[in-house]
Structure 1
Amino acid sequence: MESSLEEIEFLALSANRVDVLRLLSEDRHTRRELAEATGASQATLGRILGDFDERSWVKRDGSEYVATATGQLVSAGFTDLQEILETERTLRDIVEFLPTESLSFDLRRLSNATITTPSQTRPNAPLQRLLELLEGAEEVRTVSHAFNEQTLSVVRERTRADEQTFEGVFSRSAIEALSEESELRRRLEDLLEADRAGVRITDEEVPLAVMVVDDVVYLLLRDDQGILRASVDVEDELVRSWATETIEEYWTRGEPLEGDSLESE
C-alpha cells in the first residue's frame, strides 16, 4: 500500500492528473470533454482514469466520469497544498519582515498580493508604490509607527483640495519626529486644518504600518533597524476587514492631535 507521500508524488508529477481530478471533482465529464479541457491525449487519459479508478477516486457513469467522495477530498487537499506553496513562494523573501503576530488572517489571502522591494536602481520602490496608490485614492485610513515626509505631503495636498478623506493613528514618536522640523511641522499643521483629515496619536507600541487605500490594503515592511525592506498590497475582502478593524481599534484608543499641541510634542 502506497504511503501518503507517494500518493502526493503520484499526483504532483503530472499536471494532467491534477487537472483531470479537479475537473471531475467539479462536475462529470466525458473523455472527449476532458481531452478538450486538458489537451491530454486519449491514451494519457486512459492511463490517468485507470489509475484513478484503482484508487477509487473516480467512477464511470455511462460515457461520463465523476470523482468519488474521496476523490473530491484528495483534489481539495491538493489544491489547498498548492495554494499554500504558492503563497510561501510569494512571501519567502519578505516573511522575516512581516508583522505576523499582528496578522490574524490566513496568509493565503496574500497569494495574489503585489510585493514591491527596493532595487539598486529604485531603492524607494516600496514607498513609490504607496504614493502611486495615494495619489488616486478618495479614502485613506492608517495606523503606523512612522509618518514619512512624502506620504504627509500627498495626503496634505489631497485633503486640502477636498479630493481625499484621511484618518491616521500614529505613534507619538512618529509625530514628534515631524514636529522637530519646522517645514514638516507646518505641513502637518496644514493637514490638521483640513476638514477631511483627522490624526490621532498613541503611546501604545505600534508593531506595523498598515493602510487601507480605497479597496487596497497596503503594508510597509521594515527590518529591526528601521530600514525599508518591502511593501505588500492586496485587494482582498477579509484582509481589508482585518485592516479596518485594526485601525479602528487604535483610532478608538488614540488621542486626537490638535495643531496647537504640536509645539509641545
Structure 2
Amino acid sequence: MDDALAEMEFLARSGNRIAVLEAVSERPHTRSELAERTGASQATLGRILRDFEERNWLARTDGAYVATPTGNLVADGVLDLRKRLETERRLRPVVGMLPDELDVDLRRLRTATLTTPTETRPSAPVTRSLDILREAGHIRAVSRALNDRTLRLLRRRAVADGCTVDGVFAARAIEALVDDDRLRPKLRELVAAESADIHVYEGPLSLAVTLADGTVSLLLRDDDGVVQAALDTDDEAVAEWAASVHEQHRTAAEPLSPADIV
C-alpha cells in the first residue's frame, strides 16, 4: 500500500477523525467544541488531535484548533469524495436507467429528488412528475410517451391556465392517442390551445424529460418500459442540458395541428 492509500485508510477507519478535520477546516474549534460536535471521548479526541498535529493538518491558536493549509487540502478532498460517494449511493439503483443523452456531470444530481414506487403508492414517480407541472408557467417536454394523466394535465394547463406547453412526443405516442376515442378530443384541444406548441418526433425516442420553468424531471424506465423512478432537480447545468435536448428534438420534429387529429 502506498503512503496516500495509507492516509486514506487512516481517515476512513474513524468517523471521528473525519468529523474533527471537517470542523477545524470550517473555523477554529476549542477542544470542548470538538468533543460536543463529535461525541468522542476525551481520550479519543486527544489521540486524534495528536495524530493531526503530527501530520501538520491542524495547529493550535488562541486556545482553539484550526486547519493548516495542508489540513484544508485534505479536508476538501475528503468532503468532495464523500459527496461523490453519497451521490453514487443515491443513484446506484437507477444509474442503469439514466438516459444515454444525459451529458452532465453526475455530481450535479447530488441534491436531486429521487422518487420510486412503493407498495402503497405504485404510481409515485409519475405523480411526482405531474405535481411539478401543475405549478409551472412554461413547460417544455420531450417524451417517448404521453399517457392519459399527463395529457389531461397538459390540456388543462394550456387551455384553462394559459400555461405555455411546448412538447415533442414520439409518433407512436401521438398515434395511440388519436386512436383512442376518449383521448382524441383532449389531444385536439391541447394542440388547438394558443399557448401550446406540439411536435411529433418520428425517430427512435427513449427520453422522458420535462423542463417546468427551471425544474427538470426525468422519468426513468426499465428495459420493459415500466417507470421505475422520477428524478427531479433545479440544478442550472441540468436545466441547460434539458433545454438543449428539447431544442434538438424540436428542430427535428414535425408540428402537429388540430387538422392532423382525425
The TM-score with structure 2 as length reference comes to: 0.89
Structure 2 equivalent of residue 231 of structure 1: 230
1:183 alignment partner, SS class: coil
Show CA shifts across 1:80-99 (max 9, x none). 21112111221121122111
Determine the C-alpha separation between the residues in 1 that align with 2:108 and 2:235: 7
Determine the C-alpha separation between the residues in 2 that align with 1:32 and 1:118: 45
Determine the C-alpha separation between the residues in 2 that align with 1:155 and 1:31: 58
The TM-score with structure 1 as length reference comes to: 0.89
Determine the C-alpha separation between the residues in 2 that align with 1:256 and 1:195: 14
1:102 alignment partner, SS class: coil
Gap regions ≥5 residues in structure 1: none
2:117 alignment partner, SS class: coil
Show CA shifts across 1:80-124 (max 9, x none). 21112111221121122111x211112122222222222333322
What amino acid is aligned across from residue 77 of structure 1 in structure 2?
Answer: G
Determine the C-alpha separation between the residues in 2 that align with 1:122 and 1:251: 33
Structure 2 equivalent of residue 63 of structure 1: 63
Gap regions ≥5 residues in structure 2: none
Structure 1 equivalent of residue 113 of structure 2: 114
Structure 1 equivalent of residue 185 of structure 2: 186
Comparing 53-62 with 197-206, greater Cα deviation is found at: 53-62
Determine the C-alpha separation between the residues in 1 that align with 2:57 and 2:112: 34
Structure 2 equivalent of residue 13 of structure 1: 13
Determine the C-alpha separation between the residues in 2 that align with 1:225 and 1:34: 52
Structure 2 equivalent of residue 222 of structure 1: 221
- Pairing 1:69-88 to 2, within 5 Å after superposition: 69-88=69-88
Determine the C-alpha separation between the residues in 2 that align with 1:13 and 1:131: 44
Cα deviation, residue 11, structure 1: 1.5
- Pairing 1:86-105 to 2, within 5 Å after superposition: 86-99=86-99, 101-105=100-104
Structure 2 equivalent of residue 243 of structure 1: 242
Cα deviation, residue 199, structure 1: 0.7
CA contact (8 A) 1:162 1:196 kept: no
Cα deviation, residue 44, structure 1: 3.4
Cα deviation, residue 256, structure 1: 1.5
- Number of residue pairs matched by the alignment: 262
2:142 alignment partner, SS class: strand
Cα deviation, residue 32, structure 1: 4.1
Cα deviation, residue 42, structure 1: 4.4
What amino acid is aligned across from residue 97 of structure 2 in structure 1?
Answer: F
1:9 alignment partner, SS class: helix
Structure 1 equivalent of residue 138 of structure 2: 139
Structure 1 equivalent of residue 51 of structure 2: 51
Cα deviation, residue 162, structure 1: 2.4
Percent of aligned pairs with the same amino acid: 50
Give the superposed CA RMSD.
2.2
